[in-house]
């Protein structure tokens, strides 16, 4: 397993060791000891979620507010997505900045997003299936987000605005400046 630091504090791109032969492949999706060894992060999985979305679907930018904030380890099991994290921690030197990575079934990369960051993704393939491992249980009352097209964040998504498919909830999210953050 390899871990690559991103431009955001405490945010990592994980590359598992993949063993391939004529039968297919094998890799460990998560090993707590190896993860801590390469990142220095204690990450205890409490919930595992999956989503399947069609091309052009953008989910995000989501996060849970304290005391139910979540760290996430995101993997793309089928297809390809553009995965994005935004640092919402006001005392962080990377506050208001974002990092993005292409996750796919082919590259098998994972994206570790610590507590205090928003997360979103855009589906680039015909469809994509994602798995999220989280260190905190889902809490509807703490579930919120910020607008994917916040001009202050200036995230360059791979599709034009009119090609992006959003949920009603994600269409109404506030900008970072409008949000009341407690990180």
Q: 58 and 165 in contact (C-beta within 8 Å)?
A: yes
Active-site residue identified among 25, 27, 62, 142 = 62
Among this protein's residues, is 119 annotated catalytic? no
ω into 23 cis (within 30 of 0): no
Q: Using alpha carbons only, what angle is made at residue 92 by residues 159 and 97, rounded to the nearest 5 degrees? A: 15
Return d(Cα 74, Cα 107) in angstroms, integer. Answer: 13
Residue with tokens 């052009």: 56
| Cα–Cα dist 63/28, whole Å | 26
Of the candidates 127, 132, 138, 142, the residue annotated as catalytic is 132
Spatial separation of the C-alpha atoms in residues 80 and 124, rounded to whole Å: 6
25 is catalytic: no
- Positions annotated as catalytic residues are 62, 132
């Amino acid at each position: 397993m390899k871990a690559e630091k991103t431009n955001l504090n405490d945010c990592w791109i994980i590359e598992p060791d993949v063993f391939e032969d004529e039968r297919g492949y094998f890799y460990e999706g998560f090993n707590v000891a190896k993860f801590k060894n390469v990142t220095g992060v204690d990450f205890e999985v409490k919930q595992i979620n999956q989503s399947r979305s069609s091309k052009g679907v953008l989910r995000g930018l989501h996060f849970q507010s304290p005391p139910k904030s979540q760290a996430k380890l995101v993997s793309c099991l089928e297809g390809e997505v553009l995965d994005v994290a935004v640092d919402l921690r006001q005392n962080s030197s990377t506050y208001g900045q974002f990092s993005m990575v292409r996750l796919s079934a082919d590259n098998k990369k994972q994206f570790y997003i610590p507590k205090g960051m928003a997360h979103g993704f855009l589906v680039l393939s015909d469809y994509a299936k994602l798995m999220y491992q989280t260190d905190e249980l889902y809490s509807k009352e703490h579930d919120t987000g910020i607008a994917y097209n916040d001009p202050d964040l200036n995230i360059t998504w791979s599709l034009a605005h009119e090609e992006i498919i959003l949920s009603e909830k994600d269409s109404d999210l506030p900008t970072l400046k409008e949000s009341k953050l407690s990180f």
